[in-house]
Structure formats: C-alpha cells, structure tokens
Structure 1
Amino acid sequence: MNIAIRSKSLFRFSTTSFPSISLQNPKWVSTATPKSPPQHPENHLRPFFNGQKTQKPRDYELAIVSTLKSCSTLLAISQGQQVHALVLKSGLNSNMFIQNSLINMYAKFGFLTDAQYMFDSCPVLDSVSCNIMIVGYVKFGRLDDARKLFDVMPCKGCVSYTSMIIGLAQNDCWSEAIGVFRDLMFEVVMPNEVTMSSVISAYSHLGGIWDCRMLHGLVKKLGLEVFVLVSTNLVHMYCVCSSLWDARALFDEMAEPNVVSWNVMMNGYSKAGFVDLARDLFDRISTRDVVCWGTIIDGYVRAGRLDEAFTLYRAMLRTGLGPNDVMIVDLISACGKLMAFGEGQQFHGITIKTGFDCYDFMQATIIHFYAACHRVEFAWLQFELSSKDHVPSWNALIAGLVRNRMIDLARQLFNDMPERDVVSWSSMISGYSQSKQPNLALELFHEMVACNVKPNEITMVCVLSAIATLGILKEGRWAHEYIRNNSIPLNDNLNAAIIDMYAKCGSIKTALEVFHQIRDKSFSVSPWNAIIGGLAMHGHAELSLKIFSDLQNRNIKLNAITFTGVLCACCHAGLVEAGKQHFQSMKRLYDVEPTIKHYGCMVDLLGRAGRLEEAEELIRSMPMKADVVIWGTLLAACRTHGNAEIGVRAAESLARVEPSHGGGRVLLSNIYADAGRWEDAFLVRQAMKSQRMTRSLGYSGVV
C-alpha cells in the first residue's frame, strides 16, 4: 500500500459540505464520550491542516479517530487516505486506537489488501483488530480468510463468535455456523441478541421442533426475548417447523411486534394453507406497508384464491400504495399456474408501465407465464425481446417447451445455450423423465456430472424419478450414494424421491430404513406419502395403515396423494369398511376434495369385495364424469363375480366413453359366456368384428 506524503496545501479539503453525521465513538475504539455536538469531517481536520495544534495530545488522537470513523461512514475514500497520510506524518501510526480505526476504514471501503497490510503491521495479534478483519472478510465474501483468522486469533469473545456465525450463515454454511455456536457455549462465552438471532436463523434451515424449543429456552434464560429481532426469528423457526400454535403463542407474547414480526406470522399461516388466519392478522395491522400487502396477497395466491388476491391488490392501490417487483412476479406466476391468461396479460402491461420489464428476472417470469398458458408463440416472442445473456430466460423457455411436450425443441434450445447452469440441466432431465424417456434423462445426468456441474436436490429428484421408472436398483443405489458423497441437501421432496425409488425398484426394506431415518425430521407429508404408497404397492397394507395412523397424530397437513395410498392399502387388504371411513373423512376432517383417482380406488375396493351395487351407485354419485378406468374396473369386477346385469350397464357406459375400447367388449363377452348366455356372447364378438375392433396384446415391460 503506497500513500504519498503531500504538501500541506494539498491536504486542505474543498468547500463542499458533508452531510450531518453522528460521531459517536465506537466501543472497540474508546470509552470516552464526546462533549461537543457532532461535527463535519473537515471540522475535525481543519486544525491539523491549518497547522493549529492547540489540542491536548489525547483530544488530538480522539479527533483523528472520530474523523476516520466519519470517513468510513461516508465512504470518503480520498479524505480517509489523506488522514492516514497525516497519521504517518504525525507519528501516530503506532497508536492502537488509530491503527484499528484505519483497519476498520479500509475494511469498510472494501480495500481488504490495504486493511490486511495495516493488520499485518500490528506488532501483536489484537482481538479487536481480528474482529474488524473478520467482519471485512465476511462482508466481501472472503469466508476462507475469515475462517483462518478466526482459528488463530487470541481471546475470542462474543463479537468474534458472532461475526463468524453471521458470515457462515450468510453463505449458507448452516451446520458450520451451528458448530461455531456450540464452541461459543463450550467456552462459556455469553451470546448476545445478535448472536442468538443469527443462530436461530441457521437452525431454521436444519433443525427441528426440539431444536427450536431448546433455543427458545436458552433465549428466555438469557433474558433476550425482549429483543424483537430474536423473538421474530423464533416465530419464523416455529413456522418453518410447522408448529404454528407455538409460533402464535410467542407472537402474542411480544410486547411491541414490528412490521417484520407481523409479516413472519402471516407468512407462516399462508404457507401452511391457513390464509384466513393470516387475513385476521392482516386486518389487525394499523399501518401497512407494501410488504404486508404482498404477504397476504401471496397467501391467497398460494391457496389458489386468485379472485381474492386481485381484490386485495385493488384495495392496496386505493390506499395510494403501488406494487413492487416482488408482488408483480408473484401475481404473474399465479396467473400462469391457474392459466388466467387475460389477467396475466394485464399484469404484463403493468410491468411495462412501471418499468419493471427492464429487469431480467421479470422477463423470465413473463416467458414462464405465457408458456404455462400454452401460448408458446408469445413466450418465444418475449424470449426474443429479453437479454440473451440472462440464463434464467433460457431456462424459462426450456421449461415452458417441456411443459408443452415440445421436448425435441427444448433440447435444441438447450444445445444452443451459450452458458448452462444447474437449472438448465435439471429442466432437460425433468423433461425426459416426464416424457417417459428415462434412459435419456439418465444419460444427460451423467453428461452433466462429466461437465463438473454439481446437481442440486431438484436435479436428483428428477434423476431418481427416472430410475424408479426404469426399476434399476443398482442405478438407484449409486444415485443415493452420490447424494451422500456430494453433500446434496436432503429436503422432504428428495427424501420422498429416494423412498419412492427404492419401493419401485423392489427394495421396500431399504425404503423403510430411509423413512425411519428421516421420519421425525420431515416437515411435509411427501415422505409419508411415498412410504404409505410404497408399502401398499408391495402388499404390506397393515404396515401402510399403521404408518398412516402415526401420521394422523402429527401436525402435518395431509393431501390427496396421502389418501390415494391409504385407499390402495385398504384395497389390497380387502378392508372395505376402513376404506369407506377414510374416503368419507377426506372432505369432512381434512378438507381434501376426492379426485377421480380416489373414486377409482373405492370402486376397485367395493368391486373386489363383490359389493357391485354399491360400486355402481358410487359411480353414479360422482361429481365428475367417470372415465374408462373406472368403468373398466367395475366391468372387470362384474366378470370376477359373475354379475351380468351390472356388467352390461358398465360395458354400455364404457362404450359411450370410448367406443373403440375392445377390451371392454371382450370382458362383456366373457361375462355372457360365464353365465351361459352364449348367444349374447356371440353377438358381442360379431359386433367387434364388424367394427374392426381389436384387443391390445399383452406384453412385458421388463423383458
């Protein structure tokens, strides 16, 4: 670092005035308090530059320290360097307070090389200097340097540990941040409110409900629950752990929750599907900012209640507030999800009026919206208007083409990309997996690994889905081992994919082992669905229903997939009454609307038990039109139990749904033959020949 010593005339500041600043002395610099009102930086330096050194040495040094702090606050680089030159000229560079002030100034400027030079010139390793350097390293992304210095620094205190924890947490090194916190507790260093808020944030990404309660107890023991930041982070962690009751209890205990606290609690309710509870909170907020409106609008969007989201949006506009870019992205994405083409186009117009369309991420959102509405031509036009250097825009169009089953065109676009990220690869792998081309999905995955692109959890979910389709257990074990060896984060969706893969590849025992390892760590129903369905598929109905009973006792929201697995288990075990109870409880207890799959399971269950009249009555009462599968299931049950009367009606209904379905006619012919009605059987066969209907030949999907 070179700083030239210039003549006094060059040290004088210009007449440009600086904004008013506070010159409170930093705690790590001095315990002295200023006796005079805050002054401008040039007012501190004028006595030095004019040759007036009437101050006492102590006051002179404190003035330099205060001025260096002012330069740091204002990012006054040139002036700060001039003060440094003055320090060197005055021989004060050995003063520890001044030295730390200089290190702090250069670290805040981002001149870490200069800060490092100053730091290395210190005769002894000082904990305050180390703290300043660690904060600087963390702020500008040099985490490895921060780690090295932290490991060798003497006398680590709360500031040291807290700075390191914040740095690790900001770089998604959650486990390492928690490890540093444990070291802090082992060394009996008292954490403060900043420490605890950062630690709670780290635990919210990795911990479970018991970790949350442990941290809550520690916060109370330390008396830190009075700090809004700490309590708000605890509320957030309870919400992440799906413990909304605990979150609300803590929120209600807060003396003065701020707007962030309200938003965190509302967001917790919204993500859990309790948008009406979120609305109750929203109505209680006296002063609402755009973030509050955005949170509640997002809640209605998540719940699929788009009309109410639009109503709230219009209400916000009437208050004089305008949308921010996050809200517009949220609403356009919702329009794409619900295929609300007209509304989405209006929000596209708003992006142009507000100027938000200049953002690359907005362009990607608009491309995704048009593709989701199956308007690929508009998506392609928007892509042509967007920046070709923005990878997410390419990814949005590739994903849109995949969604519209244009897999070959998507691959061509993928091949033309100037640069690919993990999302690009994942989109194509997902496309091949969804289009029943699992071999190509696996081939592309191995190509991705060969290109040294590290897959993420979404990639691995797609890969495991492809492996499950192929049923290759060896490949599945390799993929599972790859996840472990490369420290790919395990979330509920990935755990569910692993369980599903083992079940479909024939290793239900391994699927159970994986499930028991993650059961108490799961926040969502996905892993439970995978094991319930897998056990049902393998005929372990009793164990499947036992796990479902365990799930019912947990604070986890069930969904339609859960009941598909449960009804399949009842079907395999012949548990008709239990199946009927579970089916009736879907809407009544869990607010899950039965789909055609659930009705199909019930028809199969009743049909296997020979209760064909009940099955037919259930079909007639369905809120949706029965499809080929349901009528075919009833027809097959009629063949099994020799009921020609219902069989005829089922065959007629099947013929109306799909006139060319030869298999149904064959079944009806066999029902007549089993009943000894040979003439009717012959007529059915004759009709098949006259209409040139054929029955699809059976084949093996393995050999």
Structure 2
Amino acid sequence: MYVSCEDMEYGLKVFDNIPKWNVVAWTCLIAGYVNNNQPREALKVFKDMGNWGVEANEVTMVNALIACARSRDIDTGRWVHECVCKAGYDPFVCESDGNVILATAILEMYAKCGSLNIARELFNKMPKRNVVAWNCMINGYNQYERYNEALGLFFDMLADGFCPDKATFLSVLSVCAHQCALALGETVHAYLLKSNIATDIALATALLDMYAKNGELGSAQKIFSNSLEKKDVVMWTSMINGLAIHGHGNEALSMFQMMQEDSSLVPDHITYIGVLFACSHVGLVEEAQRQFNLMTKRYDIVPEREHYSCMVDLLSRAGHFREAEKLMETMPIQPNIAIWGALLNGCQIHENISVASQVKVRLTELEPIQSGIYVLLSNIYANAGKWEEVNRTRKLMKHNRIAKNIGHSTVEMKLLTL
C-alpha cells in the first residue's frame, strides 16, 4: 500500500520488518520503485533479491525489465533477459503459449535502449502479439529516427487486422511530423476521427505538431483553438515553434505573450528555442536579450547550445558582431559548428569579410567537409568580389567531393525534430 502511495521510505521500513522475505514482498518493493520513477533503486533491489536466494517470478522479471528500459541500462537488461530464459519463462519459444506481457517488456527494454535489431528479431518470433507489442516497436523506431521502418510496421499492423490505439496514433503522427509527410498525416488524422478514440490533449498536441511542422499553420491553429481541454505547455510550445520555424515571428511572440497570461504555465527550454528563433528572424535584438535573461533568472533554465545559437544568429543578423563574438567567448560551453555557422550567416548578410575569414578557420577545423560552410563562404566572397577566394573555395569543394546541398540551419532542424 505504501509503495503504491509514493511513500517509499515507509514502505521500505515495512519491508524490513517482514519476518520472511518471500517473492511477493520483494516484487512489491521492486514495483514500488518502478512506479515511483526510481528504476535504478528497483534494479538494486532486484539484484539483492537474487543474493538472498529468492527466485524471481514472471511479475518480478517484468518490473525489472521496465526498470532497465527506463534507465536505458542495456547491460543489466541483457542479464535480466538471460535470467528469464534460465528460469524457463522465455516467452519467445515457439512451443510455449508465450507470456505477452513479459515478451513486450523484453521488447520495450531492447527498443528503448536502442537495440532495435534485437527487438525486431524477438518481435518476429513472438507466438502471440498484441497492440502493445506493435506500439513498442513502432515507438522504438520513431525514437531512434528510423521513420521508414516505423511506418512499415504500422502498415503491417493494419494489414494483420490490429486496430491502432492512442499510443499508436501518437507515434505515427510524430513520424509524419518529422518526415514532413503531410498527406499521410492527414490520412492518419481521418482514421483517428473515424475511431472511437477521444482526442485528448496529448493527441491534439500530436496533430497540431504534425500540421505545424508540415507548414499547415491554419490547420494547426484550428486544432489549437478547438481544443476543449486546458492547454498545457507542450501544446503552447508546439504552436509557438511551428509559427517561428515558418517565418511568423511576430505571431509566435504574440502566442508566447498569451501563454504567459496563464500563471500556471511555465515555459521550458524548448519553448525558449522557439521564442529566441522568432526574435532572431524579425530582428528584435532587445526583446531577445530580455527573454534570454528572463529564461535564466525567472525560470532557472540553463541555456543550451540551441539558445546560444539563436542569440549569435540574432546579433550577427543585426550586424552586432562584437557582441556576438563576446557572447561566444564568455558562454560556458564550447561553440559548435551551428554557432559558428550562425555567425558566418551574419557575415554573408553584412558582407563582413574580416569576421568571415576568422570564422572560416574555426569552421573547417570543426567540420572540414560540411557543404554548407563552403557554399556560404563562396557566396560571401562572391558578393565582395573576391573571385580568387571563390575559385579557391570551389576547387576545395571539388577536391573533397563535397556536393552542394539545400539545407536548414541547425536551430531550424532542432525545432523540426523536437
């Protein structure tokens, strides 16, 4: 009772006072730590249980595997899987009826730890499958950006006669968002509407995010406005970032202002990537600086590289190169290629050959074969009439077999993949 009520300290005292620790007592304690989001403690107890000579049952194994999945502990997960097989509980043996719950726990452990090939092999061996097992694999592929495989499995699931549930739709809509697969996303939306599944805040946010990332801002705003449930920070952030990434900076900032009118909503680091990106693309230097300071002072958000990249992009776009360079010198993390690239982008706008030449050295050290660097440098030199430098840069691209690619800024890519 106590472990299910989040009072693990008292639950542990009760456990210590039990005269004889049987498998039920140990399993309750392990499950308590799992349910209270303390997976590493759960695994410690699982190992202690073995040291005390108590054999785990299938329920114990399921909880241990869930703990491995949540802590991304693949080594312990493999060991628990071995324990399952040694105890005679292997759910993937063709002759057995197969404990679907245990099988799914093993799949989820491998999938969440990134061992998707092993998970797929086991999935293919399952004597019985349920929707949870299908969802586990689809979500695993989605989380590790293997989107085509996620969609392929979704179509297989439908072909096998399984009906998608809420978790399925959440994963598939996420894939459609990241793949910019608008037509498929609209089809999935229509399928969802025909199902008996209620569109709660999570599904509404997934739909909004899919439409926003695909540039269908009208559909995204309609979903946002029609949502009957109280909007959480994730939904607001999806709308703000969608507006920002598609060039509607002022609308994004207005949306952020509306969000702040609700004192119960606290913006997070993802919200602020969108806010700073919006400021950058409408040239609001002072507002961006104000928001950057508020982010740390009011909300205790530690700036990440994407936030610094937005600020450097903003300052260099505005021609404030000294301020941008000072920020890069004083920031607590090393500037990566995205931040140097943001500075170089400002050099192109303002034809600043001096700063561009300094940036060139650092960029080629960081990522010497990144095509965007050379294309940007070539454009800067061409705009300034430095044809010898243009020719030298293009020869270098040809020598290194670097193809000219159409791309997005790293911050844009970050917003598209959130």
TM range (shorter): 0.7 to 0.9
Cα separation, 1, equivalents of 2:351 and 2:407: 28
Cα deviations by residue, 1:103-151 (Å, 9 ceiling, x for unpaired)? xxxxxxxxxxxxxxxxxxxxxxxxxxxxxxxxxxxxxxxxxxxxxxxxx
Q: In structure 1, what is the Cα distance between the partners aligned to 2:320 and 2:355?
A: 11
1:568 equivalenced with 2:273 (yes/no): no
Out of 401, 405, 415, the position equivalent to 1:698 is: 405
Match of 2:176 in 1: 467
Distance in 1 between residues matched to 2:38 and 2:15, nearest whole Å: 24
1:530 to 2:238 alignment? yes
In 2, distance between residues paired with 1:652 and 1:408?
A: 41
Which residue of 350, 364, 389 maps to 2:48?
A: 350
Letter in 2 for 1:530: S
Partner of residue 651, structure 1: 360
Q: Is the 8 A contact 1:564 1:597 kept in 2?
A: yes
CA distance in 2, matches of 1:440, 1:427: 13
Answer yes or no: is the 8 Å Cα contact 1:661–1:693 preserved in 2: no
Distance 1:685 1:543, change over 3 A: closer
Structure 2 contact 341–363 (Cα < 8 Å) conserved: yes
Taking the aligned partners of 1:332 and 1:384, their CA distance within structure 2 comes to 24
Query: How far apart, CA to CA, are the structure 2 residues paired with 1:405 and 1:530?
Result: 26
CA RMSD of aligned residues (A): 3.4
Alignment of 1:2-401 (within 5 A): 294-295=6-7, 324-330=29-35, 333-335=38-40, 346-352=44-50, 358-370=56-68, 376-386=74-84, 387=89, 388=91, 389-401=98-110
Moved more, 465-474 or 366-375: 366-375
What is the deviation of 1:663? Answer: 4.0
Q: Which residue of 1 aligns with 2:215?
A: 506
| Cα displacement (A) at 1:509 | 0.8
- Could you say what secondary structure the match of 2:298 adopts? helix
Query: Percent identical across equivalent pairs?
Result: 33
- Change in CA separation of 1:514 and 1:686 when aligned onto 2, cut-off 3 Å: closer
Aligned counterpart, 1:88: none
Q: State the Cα distance separating 1:463 from its structure 2 match.
A: 0.7
> Which whole-Å CA distance do the structure 2 matches of 1:344 and 1:620 have between them?
44
CA distance in 1, matches of 2:188, 2:325: 45
Partner of 1:600: 309
DSSP 3-state at the match of 2:168: helix
Q: 1:597 to 1:478 in 2, by over 3 A?
A: same
Number of residues of Structure 1 aligned to a counterpart in Structure 2: 387
- Say yes or no: does 1:551 pair with 2:284: no
C-alpha change, 1:377 and 1:676, in structure 2 (3 Å) is: same
Counterpart amino acid of residue 521 in structure 1: E
**Cα offset, 1:360, TM superposition:** 2.9
Offset at residue 643 of structure 1 (A):
1.5
Give structure 2 stretches of 5+ with no counterpart.
Answer: 19-27, 92-97, 409-418
TM-score relative to the length of structure 1: 0.49
1:541 maps to which residue? Answer: 249
- Distance in 1, matches of 2:190 and 2:391, equals 58
The superposition leaves residues 447-492 of structure 1 with CA deviations (integer Å, 9 ceiling, x where unpaired) of 3234343322221111111222343433222222222222223333
- The 2-side partners of 1:355 and 1:494 are apart by 46
Distance 1:557 1:383, change over 3 A: same
Note the C-alpha offset of 1:376: 3.5
Classify the secondary structure of the residue corresponding to 1:521: coil
Q: Quick one: distance in 2 between partners of 1:488 and 1:421?
A: 18
One of 150, 153, 164 as aligned partner of 1:441: 150
What is aligned with 2:225? 516
- Structure 1 pair 393/316, CA: closer, same or farther in 2 (3 Å)? closer
- CA change 1:628–1:365 in 2 (3 A) is farther
CA distance in 2, matches of 1:354, 1:564: 50
Match of 1:419 in 2: 128
1:584 aligns with 2:293: yes
Aligned to 1:618: 327
Q: Which has the larger radius of gyration?
A: 1
Question: What are the superposed Cα offsets for residues 286-310 of structure 1, whole Å, 9 maximum, x if unpaired?
Answer: xxx6666x34x6xxxxxxxxxxxxx
Output the TM-score relative to the length of structure 2: 0.80
Query: Matched residues in 2 for 1:603 and 1:700: separation?
Result: 19
| Distance in 2 of aligned mates of 1:442 and 1:682 | 45
For residues 354 and 484 of structure 1, the distance between their equivalents in structure 2, rounded to whole angstroms, comes to 53
- Considering Cα pairs closer than 8 Å and 6+ residues apart, tell me whether 1 or 2 has the greater RCO: 2
2:156 is equivalent to residue 458 of structure 1? no
Per-residue CA deviation, residues 225-277 of structure 1 (Å, 9 max, x unaligned), is xxxxxxxxxxxxxxxxxxxxxxxxxxxxxxxxxxx9xxxxxxxxxxxxxxxxx
Q: For 1:594 and 1:457, how far apart are their aligned partners in 2?
A: 34
1:514 deviation in Å? 0.6
| Counterpart in the other structure of 1:220 | none
Aligned to 1:301: none
Q: Specify the code of the residue in structure 2 equivalent to 1:583.
A: F
